Amino acid sequence: MDFYIRSNADFMMQLAQEYLVHCGVKPKITSAGTPKHLIKAIKLLESVHRQNSSLAEAQVLLAKAKWLNNDTPGALRELQDCLNVHPDVVEAHIMAALINSEAGNMKAADNYLKLAFAQDFSIRENPVFMLMKSEVEIIGKNWQDALATLEHAFKLPAVADPGSVQSNPNLKQKFTLPFG
């Protein structure tokens, strides 16, 4: 018991998130080498996941870290393991959609976005989700749906009046996804 008190999973995840802030939102070029802060984030998140395998947020962050480290198969494997246990984690669906989209697998990206929407209808109010959805539609040459999605995105409160989100911390939390 004392071990779990000293290795505070929440604190370790916050620390890993701080490391990930310095990694950007897209994978780095493989020839550049792995940044030290990304290696530290991966080690922290692997440790948290080993100790608390049921923490879905840790798995999603670990998947993000692996993806940023150009380990796309490892990231997708983490997300699939997370979704097998916690199929209602919207962030995992969206992270899987993002990774598949970046890898050029638009069909899988679209499927994950649909699953995320099926789990939480309010995700339509998230500008990040709407942007990803329109990107998948544009790449799939579904112009009418992409236009409708972008028009809906521009009408969202966070986009139409960005000041309303910054002045209301509850809305800011609602429109922030843990992966960038």
Specify the pLDDT at position 90.
92
Say if residue 131 is exposed, middle or buried (CB neighbours under 10 Å; 0-12, 13-18, 19+).
middle
Q: Please, are residues 35 and 76 in contact by the beta-carbon 8 Å criterion?
A: no
CA 116, CA 97: separation in Å to the nearest integer? 9
Give the start-to-end residue ranges of the domains of the chain.
1-80, 87-180
pLDDT above 70 covers what percent of the chain?
84
Domain 87-180: state its class: mainly alpha
> Which 3 state secondary structure label does DSSP give 103?
coil
Specify the pLDDT at position 124.
85
Helices 9-21 and 36-51: angle between axes, nearest 10 degrees: 160
Q: What is the mean pLDDT of the chain?
A: 84
> Which 3 state secondary structure label does DSSP give 90?
helix
Least confident window among 21-30, 33-42, 155-164: 155-164
Specify the pLDDT at position 67.
92
Q: 5-14, 109-118, 154-163: which has the highest mean pLDDT? A: 109-118
In the numeric block, which tokens belong to residue 132?
């990803």
Specify the pLDDT at position 141.
85
Residue 164 pLDDT greater than 80, yes or no: no
Q: Give every CB contact of residue 82 below 8 A, 6+ residues apart in sequence.
A: 56, 59, 60, 63, 89, 92
Residue 158 pLDDT greater than 90, yes or no: no
Pick left, alpha or beta for residue 142 (phi over 0 → left; psi -120 to 50 → alpha; otherwise beta): beta
Residue 168 banded pLDDT, cuts 50, 70, 90 = low
Specify the pLDDT at position 135.
87
The number of CA neighbours under 13 Å toward the Cβ of 110 is 15
Rounded to two decimals, the pTM is 0.81
| Per-residue pLDDT tens digits for 105-143 | 989 999 999 999 999 888 888 888 888 899 888 888 889
